[in-house]
């Protein structure tokens, strides 16, 4: 009997130690508040969903408010685009693909260059297919998915100099979001990799009740994902991706144009060698907060719209 009591006492002590250790670790993690264990509040977390082909896509028919440099209100249409609902107007369509600069971080929808162009080009349908965080690789895949729903006559790729090359060179971006990537195969061809795209830890933080409420569980998920899905880096395929997009667009009988966030000599040289018309938006006003990415202000979007009007006119598109 004494031996049994001693065994129970020892088990109780060990259990108490484990519970105390668990509680202390949980409290310590909450106090330390490491960025990697926080539940994200960006538009990718709030109104996007995981997609096994693209990494993340906007939730159709969603509406939300997101705050970075300023609070903004956003609504996605039935296609998941932050835009008006597409209609059968019979007008030729101009489709813009890009990342958060096109989607419109830190500006209301009506302040974006696409909405300004819609007012200036009443004989055309302007379609904004920007998705925050996308690289050129994802934009290419997104364009091919949307094509039959949009059937544009003109496609404008908006190239973000400050981050698109990084986006195109890895399978992980933006604090742990996984994405597909294109790598050069031994025969020199680009091969699509990273699919099916793993779920990011932020999705577990948001949707799993245990992981959502226990930071020690978040730490375990973080460690598991880091081991199961390590980061992959590939040689920068950006110019080849632009060429792939141009070839796809022109094969459909449409016109392909490029807009550059700022002039990048390397990309400019490629576009000129390939006879791809482009415009650069040097001097467009931006927010100065480093944390959220130097997005265009409403005044910046106005300058972008003005220069795009010139680019479109060069391509034969008139008001």
Domain extent listing, the chain: 1-32, 40-215+231-314
**Which burial class, exposed, middle or buried, applies to 114 when counting CB atoms under 10 A from its CB (0-12, 13-18, 19+)?**
buried
> Mean per-residue pLDDT for 8-20?
74
pLDDT mean across residues, the chain: 90
pLDDT in tens, 186-239: 998 999 999 999 999 888 888 888 878 877 878 887 888 889 899 999 999 999
Tokens of 293: 């990415």
> Mean per-residue pLDDT for 112-135?
97
Q: Rounded to an integer, what distance in angstroms lies between the CA atom of residue 45 and that of residue 216?
A: 21
pLDDT in tens, 61-98: 999 988 877 889 999 999 999 999 988 788 999 999 99
**Which burial class, exposed, middle or buried, applies to 93 when counting CB atoms under 10 A from its CB (0-12, 13-18, 19+)?**
middle
The CATH number of 40-215+231-314, from 3.40.50.1110, 2.60.40.10, 3.30.1650.10, 3.50.50.60, is 3.40.50.1110
SS3 65: strand
Q: Is residue 257 pLDDT above 70, yes or no?
A: yes
Q: What pLDDT is stored for residue 211 in this prediction?
A: 77
Q: What pLDDT is stored for residue 40 in this prediction?
A: 64
Strands 93-97 and 125-128: parallel
> Mean per-residue pLDDT for 251-257?
98
Cβ contact 106:297 at 8 Å: yes
SS3 90: coil
Q: Is residue 251 pLDDT above 60, yes or no?
A: yes
Cβ contact 226:204 at 8 Å: no
Cβ contact 302:107 at 8 Å: no
The pLDDT > 70 percentage for the chain reads 94
Q: What pLDDT is stored for residue 86 in this prediction?
A: 86
């Amino acid at each position: 009997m004494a031996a049994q009591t001693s065994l129970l006492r020892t088990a109780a002590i060990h259990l108490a130690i484990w519970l105390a250790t668990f509680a202390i670790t949980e409290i310590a993690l909450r106090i330390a508040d490491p960025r990697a264990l926080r539940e994200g509040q960006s538009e990718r977390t709030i109104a996007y969903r995981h997609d096994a082909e693209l990494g993340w896509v906007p939730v159709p028919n969603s509406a939300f408010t997101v705050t970075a440099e300023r609070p903004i209100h956003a609504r996605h249409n039935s296609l998941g685009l932050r835009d008006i609902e597409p209609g059968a107007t019979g007008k030729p369509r101009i489709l813009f693909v890009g990342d958060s600069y096109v989607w419109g971080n830190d500006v209301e929808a009506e302040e974006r260059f696409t909405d300004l162009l819609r007012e200036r080009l009443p004989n055309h349908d302007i379609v904004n297919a920007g998705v925050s965080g996308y690289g050129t690789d994802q934009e290419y895949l997104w364009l091919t998915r949307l094509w039959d729903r949009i059937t544009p006559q003109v496609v404008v790729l908006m190239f973000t100099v400050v981050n698109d090359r990084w986006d195109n060179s890895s399978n992980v971006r933006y604090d742990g979001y996984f994405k597909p990537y294109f790598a050069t195969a031994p025969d020199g061809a680009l091969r699509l990799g990273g699919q099916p795209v793993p779920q990011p830890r932020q999705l577990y933080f948001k949707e799993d009740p245990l992981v959502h409420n226990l930071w020690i569980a978040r730490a375990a998920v973080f460690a598991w994902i880091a081991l199961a899905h390590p980061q992959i880096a590939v040689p920068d395929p950006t110019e080849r991706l632009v060429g792939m997009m141009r070839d796809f667009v022109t094969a459909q009988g449409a016109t392909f144009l490029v807009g550059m966030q700022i002039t990048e000599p390397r990309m400019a040289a490629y576009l000129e060698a390939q006879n791809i018309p482009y415009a650069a938006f040097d001097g467009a006003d931006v927010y100065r907060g480093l944390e959220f990415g130097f997005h265009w202000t409403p005044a910046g979007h106005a300058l972008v719209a003005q220069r795009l009007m010139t680019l479109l006119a060069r391509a034969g598109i008139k008001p």
